[in-house]
């Protein structure tokens, strides 16, 4: 999938945002909630929507980088079932501590 335009495959990622390191890795809870979706006739694992929202909220990439992270978040919130309890448990403190604006 590396050569497919618009498709990112990310695993065990470390990024720097505003001078701070953010680590994204697959833990047991993510593994339990992975969903399989068809992409270009291939079944691929997709991380839980709650993790994807935080990931995109931290990155906040724009059209300049070929991404639409804020629009993607808005679409996920409007069209996916977001487990707010799971979201708060896993990310509430991180979002507040890092000062991330998710929308």
pLDDT at 20 over 70: yes
In the chain, what are the domain boundaries?
Answer: 13-94
Report the distance separating Cα 6 and Cα 68, nearest Å: 11
Q: Pick 9 or 26 by higher pLDDT.
A: 26
Mean pLDDT in the chain? 76
Picking from 11, 67, 75, the residue whose alpha carbon sits closest to that of residue 44 is 11
pLDDT at 39 over 80: yes
**Are 29 and 36 in contact, with CB atoms under 8 Å apart?**
no
Helix (H, G, I), strand (E, B), or coil: what is residue 13? strand
Q: Band of the pLDDT at 73, cuts 50, 70, 90?
A: very high
């Amino acid at each position: 999938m590396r050569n497919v335009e618009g498709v990112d495959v990310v695993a065990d990622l470390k990024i720097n945002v505003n001078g701070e390191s953010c680590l994204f890795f697959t833990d047991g809870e993510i593994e339990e909630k992975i969903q399989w979706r068809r992409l270009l006739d291939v079944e691929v694992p997709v991380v839980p929507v709650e993790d994807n929202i935080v990931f995109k909220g931290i990155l906040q990439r724009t059209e300049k980088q070929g991404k639409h992270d804020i629009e993607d978040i808005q679409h996920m919130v409007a069209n996916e079932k977001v487990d707010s309890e799971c979201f708060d448990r896993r990310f509430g403190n991180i979002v507040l501590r890092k000062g991330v604006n998710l929308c």
